[in-house]
Amino acid sequence: MNSRDILKSTLGITNMVINSYIGDMSDSDLLKRPGVGCNHIAWQLGHLIKSNCDILNQIAPGSSPALPANFAENHAKSNNSSDDASQFCGKNEYLDLMKKLDAALIASIDKTSDADLEQPSPESFRSWCPKLGDMYVLLVTHSLMHAGQWVPVRRMLDKPVVI
């Protein structure tokens, strides 16, 4: 395996976890919050898509898929307390957007050489992701940073253990 294969394999494992956790959830289940002050899964999915598109565009300008109208605003930090279902997507739309983003990410990874991965990351990320390779690691693992919050929702909904 080379570095690009490892990144793509990590993305595959991340997606397996995400799809396992939300696969049997309904659109209304995605609006459940794991606890007081926590973001619901729908907002988190939108945050992941929006922020990963932004990150990918910083390291590979113009490579992210276009997002639907009002998507960025509805998934902004300023809207994380909203429980208005009309402001959020259904599960299938989130999954479709994630697939498009993943395809763009894989295409970007495939165009990136090992030497490119050693290049400095954008200045705004450099303190915690010093190299371009670190940015790709962030992109393929970001969803896992949120997925742990989804297990309590599964328990509240009496969903089976899936992993």
CA atoms of 109 and 86, how far apart (whole Å) = 35
Q: What is the pLDDT of residue 8?
A: 98
C-beta separation of 140 from 106 below 8 A: no
Q: What is the pLDDT of residue 84?
A: 97
pLDDT average, residue stretch 138-163: 96
Mean pLDDT computed over every residue of the chain: 97
Q: What is the pLDDT of residue 97?
A: 98
pLDDT digits (tens, 9 = 90+) for 35-57: 999 999 999 999 999 999 999 99
pLDDT digits (tens, 9 = 90+) for 82-103: 999 999 999 999 999 999 999 9
Provide the residue ranges of all domains of the chain, joining segments of one domain with +.
3-23+39-156
Task: Give the CATH class of 3-23+39-156.
Answer: mainly alpha
User: What 3 state SS string does the chain have?
Assistant: CCHHHHHHHHHHHHHHHHHHHHCCCCCCHHHCCCCCCCCCHHHHHHHHHHHHHHHHHHHCCCCCCCCCCCHHHHCCHHHCCCCCHHHCCCHHHHHHHHHHHHHHHHHHHHCCCHHHHCCECCHHHCCCCCEHHHHHHHHHHHHHHHHCCHHHHHHHCCCCCCC
CA atoms of 163 and 24, how far apart (whole Å) = 13
DSSP bridge pairs for 120? 131
**What percentage of the chain carries pLDDT values higher than 70?**
100
CA 32 to chain centre: 18
pLDDT average, residue stretch 3-30: 97
| Number of neighbours of residue 77 by Cβ within 10 angstroms | 9
User: With bands split at pLDDT 50, 70 and 90, how would you rate the model's confidence at 69?
Assistant: very high
Q: What is the pLDDT of residue 49?
A: 98
User: With bands split at pLDDT 50, 70 and 90, how would you rate the model's confidence at 162?
Assistant: very high
